[in-house]
Chains A and B, each alone.
Chain A
Amino acid sequence: MSAETLRTALAREGVDAEVEARGRLAVLRASSPDQWTEARRRAVAVTLAADHGFTHVALELSAADAAVRRD
Protein backbone atom coordinates (compact mmCIF):
# COMPACT_ATOMS: atom_id res chain seq x y z
CA MET A 1 0.00 0.00 0.00
CA SER A 2 1.21 3.47 -0.76
CA ALA A 3 0.06 6.88 0.39
CA GLU A 4 1.25 8.46 -2.84
CA THR A 5 -0.67 6.14 -5.16
CA LEU A 6 -3.81 6.62 -3.08
CA ARG A 7 -3.34 10.39 -3.23
CA THR A 8 -3.08 10.16 -7.01
CA ALA A 9 -6.17 7.96 -7.26
CA LEU A 10 -8.15 10.36 -5.08
CA ALA A 11 -7.04 13.30 -7.21
CA ARG A 12 -8.35 11.51 -10.31
CA GLU A 13 -11.74 11.45 -8.61
CA GLY A 14 -11.53 15.16 -7.86
CA VAL A 15 -10.50 14.75 -4.22
CA ASP A 16 -7.52 16.89 -3.34
CA ALA A 17 -6.05 15.45 -0.17
CA GLU A 18 -2.69 14.65 1.33
CA VAL A 19 -2.38 11.08 2.54
CA GLU A 20 -0.46 9.66 5.48
CA ALA A 21 -0.13 5.89 5.79
CA ARG A 22 -0.18 4.49 9.33
CA GLY A 23 -0.07 0.78 8.69
CA ARG A 24 -3.35 -0.11 7.02
CA LEU A 25 -4.91 3.17 8.11
CA ALA A 26 -4.84 6.05 5.61
CA VAL A 27 -5.17 9.49 7.16
CA LEU A 28 -6.33 12.18 4.74
CA ARG A 29 -5.89 15.91 5.04
CA ALA A 30 -8.17 17.92 2.82
CA SER A 31 -8.63 21.66 2.61
CA SER A 32 -12.42 21.65 3.01
CA PRO A 33 -13.89 19.04 5.37
CA ASP A 34 -17.45 20.01 4.40
CA GLN A 35 -17.02 18.28 1.03
CA TRP A 36 -17.27 15.01 2.97
CA THR A 37 -20.85 15.58 4.05
CA GLU A 38 -21.78 13.77 0.86
CA ALA A 39 -21.99 10.03 1.59
CA ARG A 40 -21.11 9.15 -2.01
CA ARG A 41 -17.79 10.96 -1.76
CA ARG A 42 -16.96 9.15 1.46
CA ALA A 43 -17.78 5.85 -0.20
CA VAL A 44 -15.45 6.65 -3.09
CA ALA A 45 -12.60 7.37 -0.67
CA VAL A 46 -13.25 4.15 1.26
CA THR A 47 -13.33 2.09 -1.94
CA LEU A 48 -10.17 3.66 -3.34
CA ALA A 49 -8.39 3.19 -0.03
CA ALA A 50 -9.38 -0.49 -0.03
CA ASP A 51 -8.16 -0.82 -3.62
CA HIS A 52 -4.79 0.43 -2.43
CA GLY A 53 -4.58 -1.95 0.53
CA PHE A 54 -5.92 0.26 3.30
CA THR A 55 -8.62 -1.23 5.53
CA HIS A 56 -9.40 2.14 7.12
CA VAL A 57 -9.44 5.71 5.90
CA ALA A 58 -9.95 8.70 8.14
CA LEU A 59 -10.14 12.43 7.56
CA GLU A 60 -7.96 14.50 9.85
CA LEU A 61 -9.80 17.51 11.21
CA SER A 62 -8.20 20.93 10.73
CA ALA A 63 -4.86 19.88 12.12
CA ALA A 64 -3.00 22.81 10.67
CA ASP A 65 -0.16 22.28 13.10
CA ALA A 66 0.22 18.57 12.47
CA ALA A 67 2.85 17.47 10.00
CA VAL A 68 1.67 14.94 7.45
CA ARG A 69 4.19 12.36 6.45
CA ARG A 70 4.12 10.48 3.18
CA ASP A 71 5.58 7.05 2.76
Chain B
Amino acid sequence: MPADLSAARVKEAALIALLRSAGDVVVGFSGGVDSAYLACVAVEALGADRVTAVIGRSASYPEEQWANARTVAVRVGLTVREVDTDELADPRYAANPSNRCYFCKSELWSRLRPIADAVGAGVLVDGTNADDLCEYRPGARAAAEHGVRSPLAEVGLTKSEIRALSRERGIPTWSRPSSPCLASRLPYGTPVTVERLRAVERAERVLRELGVTGDLRVRHHGDLARVELTSSELDRWLGARDVAELERAVRTAGFARVAIDLHGFRSGSLNVLEGIVRE
Protein backbone atom coordinates (compact mmCIF):
# COMPACT_ATOMS: atom_id res chain seq x y z
CA MET B 1 0.00 0.00 0.00
CA PRO B 2 1.33 3.49 -0.72
CA ALA B 3 2.40 5.30 2.44
CA ASP B 4 0.95 8.58 1.25
CA LEU B 5 -2.53 8.44 -0.23
CA SER B 6 -2.65 12.12 -1.10
CA ALA B 7 -0.98 11.55 -4.49
CA ALA B 8 -3.46 8.77 -5.23
CA ARG B 9 -6.38 11.01 -4.34
CA VAL B 10 -5.15 13.65 -6.77
CA LYS B 11 -5.04 11.02 -9.49
CA GLU B 12 -8.53 9.90 -8.53
CA ALA B 13 -9.81 13.44 -8.96
CA ALA B 14 -8.22 13.47 -12.41
CA LEU B 15 -9.92 10.15 -13.16
CA ILE B 16 -13.32 11.54 -12.23
CA ALA B 17 -12.73 14.56 -14.46
CA LEU B 18 -11.62 12.33 -17.33
CA LEU B 19 -14.70 10.14 -17.03
CA ARG B 20 -17.03 13.15 -16.90
CA SER B 21 -15.49 14.49 -20.09
CA ALA B 22 -15.84 11.11 -21.80
CA GLY B 23 -19.59 10.82 -21.43
CA ASP B 24 -21.45 7.51 -21.24
CA VAL B 25 -19.08 4.58 -20.91
CA VAL B 26 -19.03 0.84 -21.31
CA VAL B 27 -16.58 -0.83 -18.94
CA GLY B 28 -14.94 -4.14 -19.77
CA PHE B 29 -15.67 -5.72 -16.42
CA SER B 30 -14.00 -8.79 -14.95
CA GLY B 31 -14.87 -8.11 -11.33
CA GLY B 32 -11.16 -7.82 -10.55
CA VAL B 33 -9.44 -5.10 -8.54
CA ASP B 34 -8.94 -2.64 -11.40
CA SER B 35 -12.18 -2.88 -13.34
CA ALA B 36 -14.27 -2.92 -10.15
CA TYR B 37 -12.61 0.27 -8.94
CA LEU B 38 -12.94 1.90 -12.37
CA ALA B 39 -16.63 1.00 -12.63
CA CYS B 40 -17.29 2.24 -9.11
CA VAL B 41 -15.66 5.62 -9.78
CA ALA B 42 -17.45 5.85 -13.13
CA VAL B 43 -20.80 5.42 -11.39
CA GLU B 44 -19.87 8.20 -8.99
CA ALA B 45 -18.67 10.46 -11.81
CA LEU B 46 -21.48 9.85 -14.29
CA GLY B 47 -24.35 8.23 -12.45
CA ALA B 48 -25.34 4.58 -12.67
CA ASP B 49 -27.57 5.11 -15.72
CA ARG B 50 -24.59 6.23 -17.81
CA VAL B 51 -22.31 3.31 -16.98
CA THR B 52 -22.70 -0.18 -18.41
CA ALA B 53 -20.38 -2.89 -17.21
CA VAL B 54 -19.99 -5.82 -19.56
CA ILE B 55 -18.68 -9.19 -18.53
CA GLY B 56 -17.07 -11.07 -21.42
CA ARG B 57 -17.52 -14.69 -20.39
CA SER B 58 -14.84 -16.98 -21.71
CA ALA B 59 -13.52 -20.49 -21.16
CA SER B 60 -10.16 -18.89 -20.42
CA TYR B 61 -11.35 -17.77 -16.99
CA PRO B 62 -12.53 -19.82 -14.03
CA GLU B 63 -16.28 -20.09 -13.55
CA GLU B 64 -16.09 -18.52 -10.13
CA GLN B 65 -14.70 -15.36 -11.72
CA TRP B 66 -18.10 -14.56 -13.20
CA ALA B 67 -19.96 -15.29 -10.00
CA ASN B 68 -17.58 -12.93 -8.18
CA ALA B 69 -18.01 -10.29 -10.87
CA ARG B 70 -21.80 -10.40 -10.54
CA THR B 71 -21.56 -10.14 -6.77
CA VAL B 72 -19.23 -7.14 -6.99
CA ALA B 73 -21.53 -5.47 -9.52
CA VAL B 74 -24.48 -5.75 -7.17
CA ARG B 75 -22.41 -4.40 -4.26
CA VAL B 76 -21.36 -1.29 -6.17
CA GLY B 77 -24.71 -0.72 -7.92
CA LEU B 78 -23.63 -1.49 -11.46
CA THR B 79 -25.76 -2.32 -14.44
CA VAL B 80 -24.19 -5.45 -15.87
CA ARG B 81 -24.56 -7.19 -19.18
CA GLU B 82 -22.91 -10.44 -20.10
CA VAL B 83 -21.63 -11.66 -23.43
CA ASP B 84 -19.90 -14.89 -24.41
CA THR B 85 -16.55 -14.69 -26.13
CA ASP B 86 -15.02 -17.56 -28.07
CA GLU B 87 -11.33 -16.92 -28.49
CA LEU B 88 -10.60 -20.65 -28.32
CA ALA B 89 -12.26 -21.02 -31.72
CA ASP B 90 -9.58 -18.77 -33.19
CA PRO B 91 -6.66 -21.00 -34.19
CA ARG B 92 -4.30 -18.06 -33.88
CA TYR B 93 -5.19 -17.86 -30.18
CA ALA B 94 -5.39 -21.60 -29.56
CA ALA B 95 -1.87 -22.12 -30.91
CA ASN B 96 -0.73 -20.06 -27.94
CA PRO B 97 1.84 -17.75 -29.53
CA SER B 98 3.58 -15.15 -27.40
CA ASN B 99 1.06 -12.54 -28.61
CA ARG B 100 -1.89 -14.77 -27.68
CA CYS B 101 -3.46 -11.97 -25.63
CA TYR B 102 -3.83 -9.87 -28.76
CA PHE B 103 -6.26 -12.37 -30.28
CA CYS B 104 -8.19 -12.78 -27.02
CA LYS B 105 -8.62 -9.05 -26.54
CA SER B 106 -9.52 -8.57 -30.21
CA GLU B 107 -12.35 -11.04 -29.69
CA LEU B 108 -13.44 -9.35 -26.47
CA TRP B 109 -13.51 -5.81 -27.80
CA SER B 110 -15.16 -6.84 -31.07
CA ARG B 111 -18.04 -8.21 -28.94
CA LEU B 112 -18.23 -5.17 -26.69
CA ARG B 113 -18.14 -2.50 -29.36
CA PRO B 114 -21.66 -3.29 -30.69
CA ILE B 115 -22.97 -3.17 -27.12
CA ALA B 116 -21.42 0.25 -26.63
CA ASP B 117 -23.02 1.41 -29.86
CA ALA B 118 -26.38 -0.05 -28.85
CA VAL B 119 -26.49 1.73 -25.50
CA GLY B 120 -25.22 4.96 -27.00
CA ALA B 121 -21.93 4.95 -25.12
CA GLY B 122 -19.20 6.78 -26.92
CA VAL B 123 -16.34 5.28 -25.01
CA LEU B 124 -15.18 1.77 -24.18
CA VAL B 125 -12.87 1.65 -21.16
CA ASP B 126 -10.80 -1.04 -19.52
CA GLY B 127 -9.01 -1.51 -16.20
CA THR B 128 -5.44 -1.32 -17.45
CA ASN B 129 -3.40 0.49 -14.80
CA ALA B 130 -0.11 2.39 -14.87
CA ASP B 131 1.92 -0.66 -13.75
CA ASP B 132 0.54 -2.68 -16.66
CA LEU B 133 2.16 -0.26 -19.11
CA CYS B 134 5.57 -1.48 -17.92
CA GLU B 135 4.77 -5.13 -18.67
CA TYR B 136 4.65 -7.24 -21.80
CA ARG B 137 0.99 -6.80 -22.81
CA PRO B 138 0.22 -7.64 -26.45
CA GLY B 139 -3.49 -7.25 -25.65
CA ALA B 140 -2.96 -3.50 -25.42
CA ARG B 141 -2.63 -3.29 -29.20
CA ALA B 142 -6.06 -4.87 -29.64
CA ALA B 143 -7.53 -2.35 -27.22
CA ALA B 144 -5.97 0.51 -29.16
CA GLU B 145 -7.29 -0.86 -32.46
CA HIS B 146 -10.81 -0.88 -31.03
CA GLY B 147 -10.55 2.61 -29.60
CA VAL B 148 -10.58 1.41 -26.01
CA ARG B 149 -9.34 3.89 -23.43
CA SER B 150 -7.54 3.01 -20.22
CA PRO B 151 -8.43 5.79 -17.78
CA LEU B 152 -6.56 4.32 -14.79
CA ALA B 153 -3.33 4.23 -16.76
CA GLU B 154 -4.01 7.63 -18.29
CA VAL B 155 -4.07 9.28 -14.87
CA GLY B 156 -1.12 7.21 -13.65
CA LEU B 157 -2.87 5.10 -11.01
CA THR B 158 -0.79 2.11 -9.93
CA LYS B 159 -2.08 -1.19 -8.60
CA SER B 160 -1.18 -0.42 -5.02
CA GLU B 161 -2.90 2.96 -5.24
CA ILE B 162 -6.01 1.34 -6.73
CA ARG B 163 -6.07 -1.16 -3.88
CA ALA B 164 -5.71 1.60 -1.30
CA LEU B 165 -8.42 3.76 -2.88
CA SER B 166 -10.70 0.73 -3.24
CA ARG B 167 -10.24 -0.03 0.43
CA GLU B 168 -11.12 3.52 1.32
CA ARG B 169 -14.32 3.24 -0.73
CA GLY B 170 -15.23 -0.13 0.75
CA ILE B 171 -15.00 -1.90 -2.61
CA PRO B 172 -14.79 -5.60 -1.70
CA THR B 173 -12.12 -6.39 -4.29
CA TRP B 174 -9.42 -4.23 -2.69
CA SER B 175 -7.48 -7.18 -1.29
CA ARG B 176 -8.30 -9.75 -3.95
CA PRO B 177 -5.25 -11.34 -5.60
CA SER B 178 -4.77 -10.56 -9.28
CA SER B 179 -6.39 -13.16 -11.50
CA PRO B 180 -5.14 -13.20 -15.08
CA CYS B 181 -6.69 -15.67 -17.49
CA LEU B 182 -5.99 -19.38 -17.12
CA ALA B 183 -4.19 -19.50 -20.46
CA SER B 184 -1.40 -17.53 -18.78
CA ARG B 185 -0.54 -20.78 -16.96
CA LEU B 186 0.38 -22.54 -20.21
CA PRO B 187 3.85 -22.05 -21.70
CA TYR B 188 3.78 -20.40 -25.11
CA GLY B 189 3.47 -22.98 -27.84
CA THR B 190 1.38 -25.34 -25.71
CA PRO B 191 -2.01 -25.28 -27.42
CA VAL B 192 -4.77 -23.74 -25.34
CA THR B 193 -7.51 -26.33 -24.89
CA VAL B 194 -10.53 -26.47 -22.64
CA GLU B 195 -9.10 -29.58 -20.98
CA ARG B 196 -5.84 -27.88 -20.02
CA LEU B 197 -7.63 -24.77 -18.79
CA ARG B 198 -9.98 -26.82 -16.66
CA ALA B 199 -7.07 -28.82 -15.17
CA VAL B 200 -5.43 -25.58 -14.05
CA GLU B 201 -8.75 -24.27 -12.75
CA ARG B 202 -9.35 -27.47 -10.73
CA ALA B 203 -5.84 -27.44 -9.30
CA GLU B 204 -6.03 -23.83 -8.17
CA ARG B 205 -9.50 -24.35 -6.75
CA VAL B 206 -8.50 -27.35 -4.65
CA LEU B 207 -5.47 -25.46 -3.36
CA ARG B 208 -7.71 -22.58 -2.31
CA GLU B 209 -10.05 -25.07 -0.63
CA LEU B 210 -7.02 -26.49 1.17
CA GLY B 211 -6.30 -23.05 2.58
CA VAL B 212 -3.68 -21.54 0.26
CA THR B 213 -3.90 -17.75 0.44
CA GLY B 214 -2.38 -14.86 -1.51
CA ASP B 215 -1.15 -15.00 -5.07
CA LEU B 216 -1.24 -18.50 -6.49
CA ARG B 217 -0.54 -19.95 -9.92
CA VAL B 218 -0.49 -23.53 -11.13
CA ARG B 219 1.68 -23.55 -14.24
CA HIS B 220 0.93 -26.32 -16.72
CA HIS B 221 4.00 -28.17 -17.98
CA GLY B 222 2.28 -31.17 -19.56
CA ASP B 223 2.28 -33.96 -16.99
CA LEU B 224 3.88 -31.65 -14.42
CA ALA B 225 2.09 -28.94 -12.43
CA ARG B 226 4.44 -26.26 -11.11
CA VAL B 227 2.88 -24.46 -8.18
CA GLU B 228 3.86 -20.87 -7.44
CA LEU B 229 3.05 -19.55 -3.96
CA THR B 230 3.93 -16.38 -2.10
CA SER B 231 7.03 -16.50 0.08
CA SER B 232 5.06 -16.76 3.32
CA GLU B 233 2.93 -19.56 1.90
CA LEU B 234 6.08 -21.39 0.81
CA ASP B 235 7.31 -21.24 4.40
CA ARG B 236 4.01 -22.63 5.56
CA TRP B 237 3.47 -25.41 3.02
CA LEU B 238 6.95 -26.87 2.70
CA GLY B 239 6.64 -28.60 6.07
CA ALA B 240 6.59 -32.33 5.37
CA ARG B 241 2.97 -33.04 6.31
CA ASP B 242 1.49 -30.00 4.61
CA VAL B 243 3.40 -30.53 1.41
CA ALA B 244 1.97 -34.03 1.07
CA GLU B 245 -1.55 -32.59 1.32
CA LEU B 246 -0.71 -30.03 -1.32
CA GLU B 247 0.69 -32.65 -3.66
CA ARG B 248 -2.36 -34.90 -3.27
CA ALA B 249 -4.68 -31.99 -3.95
CA VAL B 250 -2.99 -31.05 -7.22
CA ARG B 251 -2.86 -34.65 -8.35
CA THR B 252 -6.62 -34.93 -7.95
CA ALA B 253 -6.88 -32.14 -10.52
CA GLY B 254 -5.32 -34.45 -13.11
CA PHE B 255 -1.57 -33.86 -12.99
CA ALA B 256 0.75 -36.87 -12.75
CA ARG B 257 3.57 -34.85 -11.22
CA VAL B 258 3.58 -31.90 -8.86
CA ALA B 259 6.43 -29.49 -8.18
CA ILE B 260 6.61 -26.40 -6.04
CA ASP B 261 8.54 -23.44 -7.39
CA LEU B 262 11.37 -22.50 -5.02
CA HIS B 263 11.41 -18.88 -6.14
CA GLY B 264 7.71 -18.55 -5.46
CA PHE B 265 5.06 -16.49 -7.19
CA ARG B 266 6.16 -14.30 -10.07
CA SER B 267 3.72 -12.35 -12.18
CA GLY B 268 4.49 -13.13 -15.82
CA SER B 269 6.64 -16.08 -14.79
CA LEU B 270 6.27 -17.84 -18.12
CA ASN B 271 7.42 -14.75 -20.00
CA VAL B 272 10.69 -15.10 -18.10
CA LEU B 273 10.86 -18.84 -18.77
CA GLU B 274 10.43 -18.24 -22.49
CA GLY B 275 12.98 -15.44 -22.53
CA ILE B 276 10.40 -12.84 -23.63
CA VAL B 277 11.19 -10.62 -20.69
CA ARG B 278 14.21 -10.50 -18.40
CA GLU B 279 13.97 -10.22 -14.65
Contact = CB atoms under 8 A, between A and B. Distances in A.
B211 interface: no
Contact of B246 (A37, A56, A61): A61
B259 A36 contact: no
Contacts of A57: 261-263
Interface residues of A, number: 25
Most chain A C-beta atoms within 10 Å of own C-beta, residue among B231, B238, B261: B238
Contacts of B272: 55-56
A60 B258 contact: yes
Interface string A17-45: 00000111101100011101101001001
Nearest to B231: A39
A62 to B, nearest CB: 6
A25 B262 contact: no
Nearest to A22: B221
B278 to A, nearest CB: 9
Nearest to B264: A42
A64 B156 CA distance: 50
Contact of A33 (B243, B275, B279): B243
Contact of B262 (A24, A34, A55, A58): A58
Given A22-B221, A27-B224, A56 B261 contact: yes
Interface centre among B257, B269, B275 (most CB of A within 10 A): B257
Contacts of B244: 61-62
B246 A25 contact: no
Nearest to A35: B238
A13 to B, nearest CB: 13
A64 to B, nearest CB: 11
B277 to A, nearest CB: 10
Given A25-B221, A37-B239, A39-B231, A61 B275 contact: no
A34 B239 contact: yes
Given A37-B235, A55-B272, A56-B273, A42 B262 contact: yes
Contacts of A55: 272-273, 275, 279
B275 to A, nearest CB: 7
A39 B235 CA distance: 7
A30 B247 CA distance: 15
A43 B55 CA distance: 41
A66 B223 CA distance: 10
A9 interface: no
A59 B244 CA distance: 13
B238 A58 contact: no
Contact of A36 (B238, B246, B269): B238
Contacts of A23: 273
Nearest to A26: B262
25 contacts: A22-B224, A23-B273, A24-B275, A25-B221, A33-B238, A33-B243, A34-B243, A37-B238, A39-B235, A42-B234, A45-B262, A46-B263, A55-B272, A56-B226, A56-B263, A56-B273, A58-B227, A59-B262, A60-B257, A61-B243, A61-B258, A61-B259, A62-B243, A62-B247, A63-B257
Interface of B: 221, 224, 226-227, 231, 234-235, 238-240, 243-244, 246-247, 256-263, 269, 272-273, 275, 279
- List the 5 closest pairs (A to B, CB-CB), nearest first: A58-B259, A61-B247, A34-B240, A60-B259, A42-B262
